[in-house]
A and B are shown apart, each in its own frame.
Chain A
């Protein structure tokens, strides 16, 4: 593996909890180049020829293996679009850890747009973790625009954990999923925006097969002058179950637009949405203050718990 500098190593720890070269298959991308790559006998990582990115092939029946594909950017002004395709074989059960960390000390924007496509064969299961993190004190913005496409064959399932807690100035996240019979999708998004940051998250989930289900849940906190939009649409095109929930705390001058959407195109589609936005309840602060916390400590505990 190429030698990474201290900042790049710190970003790797933030986005992928990586303290050393990961076990199993991995591809580490730093400032637009591959900084290290390894395949295993069951998981093959192949670079794409015409565009930036990789194809990840996971053999049928692969169990208890993981793939790490973190990206770090420390070069101000670098803009890249990367295409990663995951082909997950029948009845495989794997963990995929992605994530992008940007440290921008310069005055030009740094931007990473990751286009991820997942193709799960029948019975496959993937737990996908994606963390976004930004740091650096330059005037250049840190921009991430991930696009995720999920194709779930019969009885396959995917759990997605999307986390963006600090430092990303501008995000437009687009997630599209198609589910066949008996397939399941669970999304847990956690988001906190500060200062003048802007985060937009759009989900479109099509439940096309009988017995398919989706549960898309976002918890977010908007502080300072930041803005968030959560737009989650579930289409029930078969007998299916769909649930989407947006639960948000606003602070300071933060603004949030929640647009939960349901479209039932089958009489046996059962779809539910919930959305709640509000500031931290005064009585919650008061309760923790009667336990000896200051108002600021109480606020921190409430937000940490909420985003946990």
Chain B
């Protein structure tokens, strides 16, 4: 279980303090898939990065399975069971997809096990397993490999920062299946997804709307989703496609 209490994040910009997050308090219990949505610039990605430890909060606290992790390093949080999928995946010259999956799994994963994670994100495993995670892969391929590394971690809390960003419509169908499968096999873990996509919101147990750095509202999907349809918080994939692909 993840508990955020009065979490704040301020930056100093153009001579004045600006609150990116202003006192966010929320809980993500185990066995729940939560989608965090809301307008761009509202603080969603910052929230995800604070939980993973990539950014340090300027106020408030983070507790994970009872332990205060507010000051814990990224590595310590990862080892405690928090996994994070970057919105913009990182490229590595020389590291192969298999290497990255092995690091993620924290053990000498055999090739067939590694291939299962790639198949789960809709990649033909044998074509990718020995490829370098470099500029020769497309944005969509990198994104799916990024998601596969999080699957390989088998974490207690998996955070996905805008998994749909940079993915084409065809891959998007696959992505929905990935999250539906994750939801089915959630067991004692928790999943947090930052997304605007109506179809991803539809997989959630609970939806949290963040706007202007604060929780605007939260509740069960059936209660929150109808209030979001047609707003920037719940975009249909086809509308994005009309505008030239997913953003």
Partner-B contacts on A (CB < 8 A): 219, 247, 281, 283-284, 286-295, 301-302, 304-308
Known: A289-B73, A290-B52, A290-B84. 8 other contacts (CB 8 A): A219-B93, A281-B90, A286-B54, A289-B78, A291-B100, A293-B78, A301-B95, A305-B99
In the complex, the answer to whether A305 meets B93 with C-beta atoms within 8 Å is yes
Give the interface residue-count category, chain B. Answer: 20 to 34
Nearest B residue to A306 via CB reads B94
| Chain B positions 84 through 103: 1 when the CB is less than 8 Å from some CB of chain A, otherwise 0 | 10100110111110011001
In the complex, the answer to whether B153 meets A284 with C-beta atoms within 8 Å is no
Q: Which of A284, A291, A308 contacts B78 (CB 8 A)?
A: A291
Top 9 nearest A-B pairs by Cβ distance?
A305-B94, A305-B95, A292-B78, A289-B74, A287-B90, A306-B94, A290-B84, A291-B104, A289-B75
Q: Which of A284, A295, A304 contacts B75 (CB 8 A)?
A: A295
Residues of A within 8 A of B83 (CB): 290-291
Bound state CA distance, A292 and B150, in angstroms?
Answer: 11
Shortest C-beta distance, B58 to chain A (Å), equals: 20
B45 lies within 8 A of chain A by Cβ: no
B217 lies within 8 A of chain A by Cβ: no
Which applies to chain A's interface (DSSP): helix, strand, loop or mixed? Answer: helix
Bound state CA distance, A219 and B92, in angstroms?
Answer: 14
Residues of B within 8 A of A301 (CB): 95, 99, 103
Shortest C-beta distance, B59 to chain A (Å), equals: 23
In the complex, the answer to whether A292 meets B75 with C-beta atoms within 8 Å is yes
In the complex, the answer to whether A291 meets B94 with C-beta atoms within 8 Å is no
Nearest A residue to B100 via CB reads A291
In the complex, the answer to whether A305 meets B92 with C-beta atoms within 8 Å is yes
For this complex, 14 residue pairs linking A to B, each with C-beta atoms less than 8 Å apart, are A219-B93, A247-B93, A284-B92, A287-B89, A289-B75, A290-B78, A290-B86, A291-B153, A292-B79, A292-B103, A293-B78, A293-B103, A301-B103, A304-B94
Residues of A within 8 A of B189 (CB): none
Bound state CA distance, A30 and B234, in angstroms?
Answer: 73
Residues of A within 8 A of B94 (CB): 219, 302, 304-308
Q: Which of B86, B93, B99, B153 contacts A287 (CB 8 A)?
A: B86
Residues of B within 8 A of A247 (CB): 93
Question: A283, A290, A306 — which one has the most chain B CB atoms within 10 A of its CB?
Answer: A290
In the complex, the answer to whether A291 meets B95 with C-beta atoms within 8 Å is no
B8 lies within 8 A of chain A by Cβ: no
Residues of B within 8 A of A289 (CB): 73-75, 78
Beyond A287-B86, A290-B52, A291-B104, whether A302 also contacts B92 by CB under 8 A is yes
Q: Which of A288, A307, A308 contacts B103 (CB 8 A)?
A: A288
